[in-house]
Amino acid sequence: MLKKEIESALNAQILIEAESSQIYLAMASWAETQGLGGTAQFLYKHSDEERIHMLKLVQYVNERGGKAVVPALPKPGEEYESLNNLFQTLLDHEVMVSNEINNLVEICLQQKDYTTHNFMQWYVAEQIEEEALARTIMDKLRMIGADKGGLYLFDRDIESISMATTGSVSQ
């Protein structure tokens, strides 16, 4: 049986994962309307992955005797100054998610809930991958700078970047 503090912390993480899915869905829509089809597909997949992360938490809470709460979500942003701005926002968001997961792990340790601590290790590892991917993308965008040809190639190649980097972890 989950302690109330753990259940509450897990439900807060469910909200974060659901918000992540919505944010990346909005980013995908923006990219698609900017003619960045590869980037849009990358972000649509990323949105789906975040929803799967949320579902894993929902099922875990319910299986442990708690009650997962399906949260109402705030409307995500719709506009970005540039592709660099979009991916910097994504990186900043992933860093925030990592911090929240670390806080949840700390609560597990304080409450001596080693089962949930063990469950959360998948999320800890996933966040290492998510942040590394976002930093790799930012590095590539910095290299490209204002080069339109480079941007074209980036947009074309980002789907393979995402598949190679996150495909094995995100299932």
127 is in an annotated binding site: yes
Tell me the C-alpha distance between 101 and 68, whole Å. Answer: 17
Q: How far is CA 108 from the centre of its chain?
A: 21
Check the CA dihedral 79-84-90-92 and report its sign: negative
Q: Residue 138 in contact with residue 88, Cβ under 8 Å? A: yes
53 is in an annotated binding site: yes
49 is in an annotated binding site: no
Structure tokens at 87: 């991916």
63 is in an annotated binding site: no
Tell me the C-alpha distance between 167 and 171, whole Å. Answer: 7
81 is in an annotated binding site: no
**Of 43, 40, 38, 70, the residue nearest 54 (C-alpha):** 70
Q: Residue 16 in contact with residue 100, Cβ under 8 Å? A: yes
Binding-site residues for Fe cation, please? Answer: 17, 50, 53, 94, 127
Binding-site residue numbers are 17, 50, 53, 94, 127
